[in-house]
């Protein structure tokens, strides 16, 4: 069989996580309209006939402003070190810019075989898609695929191109294991996702979620205790919302998704807490499991 590790890289918000979920066929990574949603490498496994592709969803590459930002870029670099091929995602709704070029150059320097995906074609005019494809063609990557990750359209050609690029190799994951994340991590991510789209400006970056307990109780209800961590006192009130509305809304949306996912009744206990400027402190970032 053919198999390999394939990082999915690109600028923030281009649709990498949406694409990985579409390719794997299950939600393994959270997505949101806010940049820097993904904070760590997340493996999502595609199984086909005599083919296993271990996609690695990565944080968006950008100019770092904080210790967390610098760490996110380092995480992507690490994913490229043991890549068998890579998927490079660009956004068809905007022109290819210096941020994309920087990533393309990094891939070319690393000598990685690349499938370049021009994503969000559902919301870009056809002539814009053609223009992006023409500009990207200058990089001379192995293949170019226009897609809509959101609608799940034209994803099969990506897998077909990778099949040709990947070496003969072992099955790295059992076929019934779509991701290697722990249950605690996945639960925390699903909770974080429900807050991201409701928060604005700096707050999405300032929020971390740490799951402290997942306990099946005697009454059959699973109790999930999680901390919402923000950086400043002034942010506490914002994540809680006026009269607790935001935490209630986001919490109940998270609970519904967790009940479907864990096939259990869930009692979700969310508490907000300040860890001063956690993004700036590498020690705090480690402790938060990022
Ligand atoms: N219209 C449209 N929207 C898309 C498509 N793919 C992704 N999106 C949207 O773009 C936003 C960002 O998607 P993500 O998958 O979170 O992007 P990402 O590249 O993983 O972002 P980071 O993890 O922050 O780097 C979300 O609101 C998605 O719904 C697409 O094909 N079409
Ligand atoms: Mg992402």
Please write the tens of the pLDDT for every residue from 194-205: 999 999 888 888
Cβ–ligand 1 distance for 153 under 6 Å, the answer no
pLDDT at position 17 over 90: yes
**What pLDDT score was predicted for residue 285?**
72
Are 117 and 87 a contacting pair, CB within 8 Å?
yes
Ligand closest to Cα of 13 equals 1
Q: How far is the CA of 17 from the centre of ligand 1 (A)?
A: 7
Backbone φ and ψ of 42, nearest 5°: -125, 120
Taking the CA of residue 36 as reference, the ligand 1 atom at the shortest distance is: 24
**Superfamily name with CATH number, domain 2-165:** P-loop containing nucleotide triphosphate hydrolases (3.40.50.300)
pLDDT at position 38 over 90: yes
Residue 20's pLDDT band (cuts 50, 70, 90): very high
Please write the tens of the pLDDT for every residue from 120-175: 999 999 999 999 999 999 999 999 999 999 999 999 999 999 999 999 999 999 99
Q: Mind spelling out the 3-state secondary structure of 81-145?
A: HCCCCEEEEEECCCCCCHHHHHHHHHHHHHCCCEEEEEECCCCCCHHHHHHHHHHHHCCCCCEEE
Cβ–ligand 1 distance for 108 under 6 Å, the answer no
Are 148 and 154 a contacting pair, CB within 8 Å?
yes
- 19-23, 110-114, 230-234, 285-289 — which is least confidently predicted? 285-289
**pTM for the full model?**
0.95
Q: How far is the CA of 221 from the centre of ligand 1 (A)?
A: 34
User: Who's near 167: CB < 8 A, 6+ residues apart?
Assistant: 2, 3, 4, 84
Residue 46 parent element (H or E): strand 42-48
Cβ–ligand 1 distance for 123 under 6 Å, the answer yes
Mean pLDDT, range 15-34, rounded to an integer: 97
Sorted by where each begins, the domain ranges of the chain are 2-165, 183-287
CA 166 – CA 142 distance, rounded (Å) = 12
Strand partners, 145: 117
287 CB burial (10 A radius; 0-12, 13-18, 19+): middle
CATH architecture of 183-287: 2-Layer Sandwich (3.30)
**What pLDDT score was predicted for residue 85?**
97
Nearest to 13 by CA among 35, 38, 39, 43: 35
Residue 63's pLDDT band (cuts 50, 70, 90): confident
Nearest to 204 by CA among 239, 241, 245, 156: 239
Please write the tens of the pLDDT for every residue from 77-102: 888 888 999 999 999 999 999 989 98
**What pLDDT score was predicted for residue 284?**
77
Examine domains 2-165 and 183-287 and report if their fold is the same. no
**What pLDDT score was predicted for residue 290?**
66
Calculate the average pLDDT of the chain: 93
Ligand closest to Cα of 89 equals 1
SS3 content of the chain, % helix, strand, coil (to 5): 40, 25, 35
Ligand closest to Cα of 119 equals 1
264: tokens are 């259990």
CA 216 – CA 72 distance, rounded (Å) = 34
Q: Is the CA virtual torsion 37, 210, 76, 147 positive or negative?
A: negative
**What pLDDT score was predicted for residue 76?**
82
**What pLDDT score was predicted for residue 77?**
82
pLDDT at position 5 over 80: yes
């Amino acid at each position: 069989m053919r198999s390999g590790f394939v990082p999915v890289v690109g600028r923030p918000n281009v649709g990498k996580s949406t694409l990985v979920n579409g390719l794997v066929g299950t939600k393994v990574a959270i997505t949101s309209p806010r940049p820097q949603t993904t904070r760590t490498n997340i493996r999502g496994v595609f199984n086909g006939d005599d083919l296993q592709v271990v996609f690695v969803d990565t944080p968006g590459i950008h100019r770092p402003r904080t210790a967390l930002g610098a760490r996110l870029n380092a995480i992507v670099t690490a994913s490229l070190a043991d890549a068998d091929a890579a998927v490079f995602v660009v956004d068809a709704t905007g022109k290819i810019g210096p941020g994309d070029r920087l990533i393309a150059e990094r891939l070319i320097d690393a000598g990685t075989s690349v499938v370049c995906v021009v994503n969000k074609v559902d919301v870009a005019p056809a002539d814009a898609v053609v223009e992006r494809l023409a500009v990207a063609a200058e990089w001379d990557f192995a293949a170019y695929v226009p897609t809509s990750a959101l609608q799940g359209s034209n994803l099969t050609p990506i897998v077909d191109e990778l099949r040709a690029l990947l070496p003969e190799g072992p099955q790295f994951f059992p076929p019934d294991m779509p991701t290697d994340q722990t249950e605690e991590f996945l639960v925390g991510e699903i909770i974080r996702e429900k807050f991201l789209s409701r928060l604005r400006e700096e707050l999405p970056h300032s929020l971390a979620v740490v799951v402290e307990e997942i306990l099946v109780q005697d009454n059959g209800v699973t109790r999930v205790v999680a901390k919402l961590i923000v950086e400043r006192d002034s942010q506490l009130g914002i994540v809680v919302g006026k009269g607790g509305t935001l935490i209630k809304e986001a919490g109940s949306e998270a609970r519904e998704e967790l009940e479907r996912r864990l096939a259990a009744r869930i009692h979700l206990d969310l508490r907000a807490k300040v860890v001063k400027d956690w993004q700036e402190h590498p020690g705090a970032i480690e402790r938060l499991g990022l």
